[in-house]
Amino acid sequence: MIAGLVAFMVLAVGWNLVAKRRTARAVVPASRERIASRPPPPPPTRSQAGTQVQSTEPTGPGYLDMLARAQIRRRIRNSAPRAYLDYVVAQSSDSMLHRWDDRVARPVRVHLVQDTVSNFQSAFLDAIRAAFQRWEQAGVPVRFSLGADSSDAEVRFSWRLQFDIDRTGETDLEWDQDGHLRSGVVIIATQDPRGQPLGPDDVRVVALHEIGHLIGLDHSPDSTDLMFAKTVVRDLSERDIRTALLLYDLAPGSLR
């Protein structure tokens, strides 16, 4: 009897050890399976001036906002061919209207760099001032203060001898997610792409074109407009003016 009881106890202990090993082997794959099925963490949100920051809980525009955008799109379509804002929006990468907001009583601060680059003339600064005055005379409701210090300026005009490509001016802008312009850098060459020096009136024409970009316009498809990509005329056209006035009569931001 005692021998039988001892044998039973030995068998019971052995079975318990085998069961524990089986349980341990069964737990590891189950744990790995849970880890493998866990979704990867979302990528970090990136923020960049001029593009809308993606919300963690994205929501589309509300009904009233969609109606307002549809009305703006209608006004832009109906303005053609007397204005070319429809073309500007079609060529944009974000389908947004960009402009300065409420900057009449609080003018945009502009710094004009007096440079030592070859062919630079002090008369170029007067040419830029005349270009700003021309846009103001056209009735565009934004004002620029041209005496800003470089450390406090929102817009900076600088110079270079010549561009590597076929252009005499360049404008870079930054705007917020609602299309409000925040800052700009304008660079004007003192020589044309063929190496011919520019005179003060040439700089005035280049500045007129670049200020058009500065206020939010892009290129016109018509060579009779000063905002044509390769400027031919030497003053603002009626279409340039109507397009700028329409832009500032509409709310900035996305049209989608």
Spatial neighbors of 225 by CB under 8 A, at least 6 apart, are 84, 233, 237, 239, 240
Nearest to 97 by CA among 250, 256, 253: 253
Q: What is the pLDDT of residues 138-184, one digit of tens each?
A: 999 999 999 999 999 999 999 999 999 999 999 999 999 999 999 99
Q: What is the pLDDT of residues 106-125, one digit of tens each?
A: 999 999 999 889 999 999 99
In angstroms, the CA 153 to CA 146 distance is 9
Residue 81 preceded by cis peptide, ω within 30: yes
Helix (H, G, I), strand (E, B) or coil at 117: coil
Any alpha helices (H) in 92-176, and if so which ranges? 123-137
Structure tokens at 256: 């989608």
Which domains can be identified in the chain, with CATH numbers?
Answer: 101-237 (3.40.390.10)
Q: pLDDT at position 14, please?
A: 47
The lowest-confidence range among 38-42, 64-68, 116-120 is: 38-42
Spatial neighbors of 111 by CB under 8 A, at least 6 apart, are 148, 149, 150, 152, 153, 155, 156, 157
The lowest-confidence range among 16-25, 39-48, 98-107, 166-175 is: 39-48
- Average of per-residue pLDDT values in the chain: 82
pLDDT at 67 over 50: yes
In angstroms, the CA 141 to CA 245 distance is 8
